[in-house]
């Protein structure tokens, strides 16, 4: 065992010395490798924390949402339906919600207009806005937000607060206003809501209650929180997967590149291996040494690139990836995701990068290792 | 199919390692037909060189199988939020009929690869490749296992749909089901625990006897395999109860969760290592009679045996410690 | 003692350009003697040397090193035997550029897993014996021809082999250095080592310390050389 460790140490030392002797070539290789890992890691870290963020947010969302559906499309739901739902046993805090989108012709952005849950927090004539909106319209607390309805009527609302940046990912485009202002702005009658939400007393009964609602309101769609969670989960995974598959192409070409680099041993390298074999190194010594080389290169590049990606995502808001992952939103949130390293993810990434790299170099390494020791005699 | 990075990684890993085993097996059939050490022909030289490549491949496949075993379970654990009714890995694995067979196939493949590498190591110690045919015959036999593992895994992931309602550990590992796992969970706790300790004791008796007298290698290999099954059964039927401190929570995977201090890794790692080394030692000992191996193999088998006994001792220690420290008292 | 029995080495066996570099050759090399292989260019000296030193395998025939049949040893044992028995000095020295003299000398022991301090000490001792300890930390590409050769000899001796093998050792040296080389060889012989070399150089094969001169022509031993 001691001999084994000493042997590996000697071989690693020798490998490192060899890598340093061919600095330019190996640095080039590592740079390309790091790029690939960096992109992959950024995508994975980013989508992972988005997903995490979404699920945290959803954790205090209402358990059931009821939407009215007319001709297959989401329609306004009426107050009477709220009464029906409230009467179902096990349902708690059934309430109607008002929210919708508004296209701001002034700067081409889409806002989400919404009446907050606790009505009394926002007085009539006031709004609370997300940081994205504040940036786009250059607003501060106390200033006025002017919105023009589709009918050309001008609304003047005083900004009573800007939503904290903590939750900017979701709140960036929010405009919170009072129910009265909302109804006036969109010219909604007072007996309709965008949808209904309710909590459930016993969380095991969610499915049962959802079924009951479907039965009493056959023209509605009932969505449970778990449904949303699952959809989010698979949506994010799916996006991540697609991206990875695309990047897989890049990875493939990189692997070919690695193969090429390893198999196209330079004359001096062949000479060196020949010398080693001639002075008494065995095929497996060369194999081990070269394997260490692959592992050191790939693991080194991996760690380096992963650290970079980590910093990029969590401290520089993934600036390079924004457009790809989130669509070309104008109110793009500037936010800081909670740093998190997920071992499963690291292992996955290892599987995607170090693993194929080492695999691709095995055959070329072996080919180098079986050079005849007598080649250097000629 | 769910397009998930971990799944892609697992498929990629299994593709690569299966390919390597396939190449190894194809080469193995050539060895079986043409190996002739006394020949100095180029063909023989090339064959000998290729054995280095194949050993490297198998080493690689072993590491990949080990990692992918971990990744597979770990992924199942994390994906459980996507399945209605799933609370942990069991639910995800249960989402279609291929989940558990894949897991079992992966475990078998892992043990096979470990055994192959041990035989390979022993063979390399001798001057005349005494086990070469044996070794490559075995590799050819591993091929179908590798292929079916890869196939099962692929079918599992291809058929994985999030809209199925699956049953999780609370259902699968309850005594009133009618499948094997239910049988395991349904075992009387006292009986299961007694059986486990009897198996452990027998394993140590057989192992020590083998270590000291070098007799009974087949028995020892058998004991290692039986102990593995007995241990997994015990984990499901009773040890898990102690860890979770809950009289009805039978689940072999929740053990791996941080809530239980990752004790699962501490339990499974020595168990897997001990089983692999034990079966390896027992199997290899049958070659001790080969003259060119006698000298080196005896020592190697002894070391393997000792390492196996120590691993299982650690396993037994951790399990007993967990039972002792548990707030749950079943008897 | 190294014994060849009916040894043949065919290059590109089975192909159209197959070539018998050594053909049905019998040979005995005694321990503690200096043997020189001579012959015209292309006669097969180097090939013979690689066979003697276990660097290549014969296509047919048997080779015994110290009573042990080595022809059918698996590669790892052949290499082991080579490590234990032979030290090689190459015509072009074959030092690894970019490494220091000391590192080059330590190369053969690197994969053996012995403690490094010990190896380094042994290497130093050898460099001292060959009077180039002052160059220990120089890169090998900065060495003169004579120094490079002594480094190569030190590397060949680091594993303390009973047999030293050298291919055209004096080809790259001037007369003075060639004599110095022969002095080193004599010293080794006095220490009880066996030496096998090839050489065109009369300075070598006419030297009085040489015990046996074998003439090779067309892959065979010439019985009465001119
Ligand atoms: N790898 C090889 N493949 C094919 N032919 C080879 C190979 N190596 C050597 N030969 C041939 O074998 C013959 C003997 O070569 P060898 O190097 O042994 O000659 P030598 O006696 O050492 O010559 P020199 O004095 O020029 O060094 C030569 O004709 C050479 O062309
Ligand atoms: Mg020559």
Domain ranges of chain B: 1-168, 173-331
Instruction: Pick from C14, C21, C172 the residue to mutate for probing ligand 1's pocket: most ligand atoms within 8 Å of its CB.
Output: C21
Secondary structure (3-state) at B126? coil
Question: pLDDT: is C103 or A84 the higher one?
Answer: C103
Are A356 and A255 a contacting pair, CB within 8 Å?
A: yes
The CATH number of residue A88's host domain is: 2.40.40.20
| Alpha-carbon span A184 to A181, nearest angstrom | 5
C91 Cα–ligand 2 center, Å: 8
C225 lines ligand 1 (CB under 6 A): no
List the single best residue of A21, A279, A281, A287 to mutate versus C (max C Cβ within 10 A): A279
Looking at the structure, tell me whether residues A139 and A194 fall in a common domain. Answer: yes
Q: Is C214 helix (H, G, I), strand (E, B) or coil?
A: strand
Nearest protein CA to atom 26 of ligand 1, as residue: C41
User: Does C17 lie at the interface with B, CB-CB under 8 angstroms?
Assistant: no
Q: How many domains does chain A have?
A: 2
Please answer whether residues B250 and B240 qualify as being in contact, where contact means their C-beta atoms are separated by less than 8 angstroms: yes
| Three-class SS state of C159 | coil
Q: Using the beta-carbon criterion (under 8 Å), do B37 and C77 form an inter-chain contact?
A: no
Q: What is the pLDDT of residue A328?
A: 37
Q: Name the β-bridge partners of A91.
A: A200
Element (H, E) at B211: helix B189-213
Question: Hey, whose CA ends up nearest to atom 7 of ligand 1?
Answer: C11
Q: Tell me whether residues B42 and C73 touch, CB distance under 8 A.
A: no
Rounded Cα–Cα distance for residues A196 and A84 (Å): 11
Q: Looking at the complex, does the CB of residue A275 fall below 8 Å from at least one CB of chain C? A: yes
Would you call B49 and A283 a contact, using CB atoms and an 8 Å cutoff? yes
User: d(Cα A255, Cα A353) in Å, to the nearest integer?
Assistant: 9
H helix count then E strand count, chain C: 7, 10
pLDDT digits (tens, 9 = 90+) for B104-122: 999 999 999 999 999 999 9
Residues in chain A: 378
Rg from Cα positions in chain C: 18
Residues lying with their CB under 5 A of ligand 2, a single-atom ion: C 46
Alpha helices in A172-224 (DSSP H): 179-186, 206-216
Tell me the per-residue pLDDT of A5-19, one tens digit each, with 9 for 90 and over. Answer: 888 998 999 899 888
Residues A145 and A75 in one domain: yes
Q: How far apart are CA B182 and CA B199, in angstroms?
A: 21
- Please give the DSSP secondary-structure letter assigned to residue B181: H
CA of A1: which chain B residue's CA is closest?
B303
Q: What is the predicted pLDDT for the residue at C122?
A: 92
Q: Are A17 and C103 in contact (CB < 8 Å)? A: yes
- How many whole angstroms from C92 Cα to the centroid of ligand 1? 16
Decide if B244 contacts B170 (C-beta within 8 A). no
Q: Most confidently modeled of A352-356, B235-239, C180-184? A: C180-184
What residue owns the CA closest to ligand 1's atom 22?
C46
When comparing pLDDT for C131 and B168, which is higher? C131
In this prediction the ipTM stands at 0.92
Coil, strand or helix: which one is C28?
A: strand
**Confidence at A289, pLDDT banded by 50, 70, 90:** very high
From the list B37, B49, B124, which residue is nearest C72 (CB)? B37
Phi/psi zone of residue A111: left (φ > 0), alpha (ψ -120 to 50 degrees), beta?
Answer: beta
Do A347 and A298 have their domain in common?
Answer: yes
Q: What is the pLDDT of residue B295?
A: 85
Q: pLDDT class for A236, splitting at 50, 70, 90?
A: low
Q: Is the pLDDT of residue C225 over 60?
A: no
pLDDT score of A333:
47
Any ligand 1 atom below 6 A from CB of C11: yes
**Buried/exposed code over A315-333 (b: 16+ C-beta within 10 A; e: otherwise):** eebbeebbeebeeeeebbb
Regarding whether A236 and A346 lie in a shared domain, the answer is: yes
- Residue-wise pLDDT for A369-378, tens only, equals 998 888 888 7
Parallel/antiparallel/unpaired status of strands A192-193 and A195-200 = unpaired
A246 and A362 together in one domain: yes
SS3 A303: helix
Structure tokens at B21: 């085993």
Q: Which chains touch B (3 or more CB pairs under 8 A)?
A: A, C
Nearest CA in chain C to A5: C113
> What does pLDDT average to over chain C?
90
Of the candidates B324, B171, B69, B8, the residue with the CA atom closest to the CA atom of residue A43:
B8
Residues A42, A158, single domain; the answer is: no
Chains in contact with A, where contact means 3 or more Cβ–Cβ distances below 8 Å, are B, C
Residue with the nearest Cα to atom 18 of ligand 1?
A: C44
Q: Are residues A184 and A39 in the same domain?
A: no
Q: For residue A96, give the nearest of A197, A205, A190 by alpha carbon.
A: A197
pLDDT in tens, C103-144: 999 999 999 888 888 999 999 999 998 888 899 999 999 998
Question: What end-to-end distance do the CA atoms of chain A give, in Å?
Answer: 38
C219 lines ligand 1 (CB under 6 A): no
Chain C residues with CB inside 8 Å of A374's CB?
Answer: 50, 55-56
Picking from A203, A223, A243, the residue at the C-terminal end of a domain is A223
- For residues A238 and A340, membership in a common domain is answered with yes
CA neighbor of A352 nearest in space, from A45, A41, A51, A30: A41
Q: Which of residues 29-88 of C touch B (CB under 8 A)?
A: 57-60, 71-77
Does residue A45 sit in the same domain as residue A81?
Answer: no
d(CA B93, CA B73): 9
> At residue A332, does pLDDT exceed 50?
no
Residues A167, A266, single domain; the answer is: no
Last-in-domain residue among A223, A240, A274: A223
Q: What is the mean pLDDT of chain B?
A: 86
Q: CA distances (Å), C94 to each of A8, A272, A277, in order?
A: 24, 8, 11
**Domain housing A28:** 2-57+231-377
**Quick one: A83 exposed, middle or buried, by C-beta within 10 A (0-12, 13-18, 19+)?**
exposed
Q: Are residues A47 and A104 in the same domain?
A: no
Query: How high is the pLDDT of residue A239?
Result: 65
**What backbone phi and psi angles, to 5 degrees, belong to A73?**
-120, 155
């Amino acid at each position: 065992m001691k001999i084994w460790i000493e042997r590996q140490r000697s071989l690693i030392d020798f490998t490192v010395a060899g890598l340093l002797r061919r600095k330019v070539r190996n640095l080039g290789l590592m740079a390309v490798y790091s790029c690939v890992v960096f992109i992959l890691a950024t995508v994975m870290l980013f989508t992972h924390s988005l997903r995490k963020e979404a699920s945290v947010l959803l954790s205090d969302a209402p358990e059931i949402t009821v939407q009215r559906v007319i001709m297959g499309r989401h329609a306004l739901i009426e107050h009477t339906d709220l009464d029906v739902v409230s009467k179902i046993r096990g349902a708690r805090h059934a309430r109607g919600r008002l929210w919708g989108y508004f296209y701001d012709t002034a700067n081409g952005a889409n806002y989400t207009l919404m009446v907050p849950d606790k009505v009394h927090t926002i007085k009539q004539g006031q709004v609370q806005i997300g940081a994205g909106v504040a940036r786009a319209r250059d607003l501060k607390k106390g200033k006025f937000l002017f919105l023009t309805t589709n009918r050309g009527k001008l609304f003047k609302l005083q900004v009573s607060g800007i939503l904290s940046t903590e939750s900017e990912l979701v709140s960036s485009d929010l405009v919170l206003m009072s129910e009265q202002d909302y109804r006036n702005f969109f010219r909604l009658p007072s007996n309709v809501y965008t949808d209904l939400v309710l909590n459930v007393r016993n969380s095991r009964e969610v499915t049962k209650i959802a079924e009951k609602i479907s039965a009493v309101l056959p023209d509605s769609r009932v969505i449970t929180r778990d449904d949303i969670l699952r959809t989010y989960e698979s949506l994010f995974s799916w996006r991540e997967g697609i991206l990875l598959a695309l990047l897989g192409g890049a990875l493939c070409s990189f692997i070919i590149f690695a193969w090429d680099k390893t198999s196209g041993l330079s004359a001096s390298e062949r000479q060196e291996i020949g010398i080693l074999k001639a002075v008494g190194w065995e095929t497996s010594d060369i194999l081990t040494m070269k394997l260490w080389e692959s592992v050191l290169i790939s693991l080194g590049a991996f760690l380096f690139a992963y650290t970079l990606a980590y910093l990029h995502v969590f401290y520089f808001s993934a600036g390079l990836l924004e457009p790809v992952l989130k669509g070309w939103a104008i109110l793009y949130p500037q936010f800081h995701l909670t740093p998190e390293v997920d071992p499963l993810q690291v292992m996955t990434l290892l599987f995607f990068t170090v693993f194929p790299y080492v695999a691709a170099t095995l055959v070329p390494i072996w080919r180098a290792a079986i050079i005849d020791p007598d080649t250097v005699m000629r | 199919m769910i397009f998930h990075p971990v799944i892609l990684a697992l498929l990629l890993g299994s593709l690569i390692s299966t390919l390597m085993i396939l190449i190894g097996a194809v080469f193995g059939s050539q060895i079986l037909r043409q190996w002739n050490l006394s020949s100095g022909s180029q063909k023989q030289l090339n064959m000998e060189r290729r054995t280095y490549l194949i050993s490297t491949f198998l080493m690689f496949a072993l590491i990949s199988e080990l990692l992918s075993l971990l990744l597979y379970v770990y992924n199942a654990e994390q994906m459980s939020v996507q399945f209605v009714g799933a609370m942990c890995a069991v639910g995800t694995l249960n989402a279609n009929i291929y989940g558990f067979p894949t897991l079992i196939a992966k475990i078998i493949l892992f043990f096979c690869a470990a055994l192959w590498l041990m035989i390979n190591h022993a063979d390399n110690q001798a001057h005349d490749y005494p086990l070469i045919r044996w070794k490559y015959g075995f590799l050819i036999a591993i091929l179908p296992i590798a292929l079916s593992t890869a196939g099962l895994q692929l079918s599992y992931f291809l058929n994985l749909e999030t809209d199925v309602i699956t049953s999780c550990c609370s259902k699968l590992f309850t005594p009133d089901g009618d499948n094997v796992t239910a049988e395991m969970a349904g075992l009387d706790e006292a009986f299961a625990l007694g059986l486990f300790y009897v198996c452990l004791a027998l394993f140590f008796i057989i192992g020590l006897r083998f270590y000291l007298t070098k007799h009974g290698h087949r028995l020892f290999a058998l004991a290692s395999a039986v102990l593995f099954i007995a241990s997994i059964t015990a984990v499901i039927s009773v040890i898990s109860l102690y860890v979770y401190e809950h009289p009805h929570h039978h689940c072999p995977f929740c053990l791996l969760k941080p809530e239980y201090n990752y004790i699962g890794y501490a339990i499974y790692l020595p168990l897997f290592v001990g089983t692999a080394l034990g079966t390896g030692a027992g199997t290899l000992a049958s070659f001790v009679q080969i003259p060119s191996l006698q000298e080196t193999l005896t020592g190697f088998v002894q070391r393997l045996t000792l390492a196996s006994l120590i691993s299982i001792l650690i396993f037994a220690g951790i399990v007993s410690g967990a039972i002792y420290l548990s707030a749950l008292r079943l008897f | 003692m190294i014994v060849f029995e009916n040894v043949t080495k065919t290059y590109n066996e089975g192909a159209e350009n197959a070539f018998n570099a050594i053909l049905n050759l019998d040979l005995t090399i005694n321990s503690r003697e200096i043997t020189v292989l001579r012959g015209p260019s292309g006669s097969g000296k180097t090939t013979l040397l690689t066979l003697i030193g276990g660097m290549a395998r014969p296509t047919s025939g048997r080779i015994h090193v110290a009573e042990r049949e080595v022809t059918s040893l698996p590669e790892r044992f052949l290499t082991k035997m080579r490590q234990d028995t032979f030290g090689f000095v190459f015509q072009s020295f074959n030092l690894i550029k970019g490494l220091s003299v000391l590192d080059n000398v330590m190369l053969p022991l690197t994969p053996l897993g012995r403690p490094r301090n010990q190896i380094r000490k042994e290497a130093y001792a050898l460099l001292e014996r060959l009077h180039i300890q002052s160059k220990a930390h120089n890169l090998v590409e900065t060495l003169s021809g004579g120094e490079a050769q002594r480094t190569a000899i030190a590397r060949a001796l680091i594993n303390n082999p009973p047999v030293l093998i050298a291919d055209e050792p004096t080809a790259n040296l001037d007369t003075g250095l060639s004599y110095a080389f022969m002095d080193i060889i004599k010293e080794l012989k006095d220490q009880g080592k066996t030496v096998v070399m090839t050489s065109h150089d009369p300075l070598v094969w006419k030297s009085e310390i040489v015990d046996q001169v074998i003439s090779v022509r067309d892959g065979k031993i010439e019985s009465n050389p001119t």
